[in-house]
Amino acid sequence: MRQSVENAVAVCPVEVAVAVLGGSWKLTVVKHLTGGTMRFGELRRAVGPVTPRVLTRQLRDLEADGIVSRTVFAEVPPRVEYALTELGETLRPAVVWLDEWGAAYADREVSQGRP
């Protein structure tokens, strides 16, 4: 268990979820992986403005936390596939819900035009 997660446990279970999913792009990665296995390059293009360095880091974090699996194929050119683990799949409803909530939130902001 990563240190941040371990600290979170002591405070509140919700903080555990934040510790695991809170980094940039992490939920976006999980969301894309709910559609099935993806290669590194696919993920990179799908997520958008993320550098390889950062994406790698997020993926390794998610891997360490048991959310995604990483499969390396010994080929030329190299191929690495990422997929949700069983545990990662349990996040599906939350991802869907938060995705919809975020969209609704953004709409609300636009329609209300708050500064």
Residues that bind DNA (CB under 7 A): 4, 23-25, 39-42, 44, 49-54, 56-60, 70, 72, 77-80
Query: Is 94 a binder of a second copy (CB under 8 A)?
Result: yes
Rank residues 77 and 115 by Cβ distance to a second copy and give the closer one: 115
The Cα 59–Cα 44 span in angstroms is: 11
Nearest approach, Cβ of 114 to a second copy (angstroms)?
6
> How many alpha carbons fall within 13 Å on the CB side of residue 16?
8
Residues in contact with 55: Cβ distance below 8 Å, sequence separation at least 6, in sequence order: 25, 29, 40, 43, 44, 47
DSSP E strands: which ranges in the chain? 38-39, 68-73, 79-84
- The interface partner of residue 83, options being DNA, a second copy, none and the CB cut-off 5 to 8 Å by kind, is none
Query: Is 43 a binder of a second copy (CB under 8 A)?
Result: no
- The interface partner of residue 20, options being DNA, a second copy, none and the CB cut-off 5 to 8 Å by kind, is a second copy
How many CB atoms neighbour CB 79 within 10 A?
A: 13
Nearest approach, Cβ of 22 to DNA (angstroms)?
7
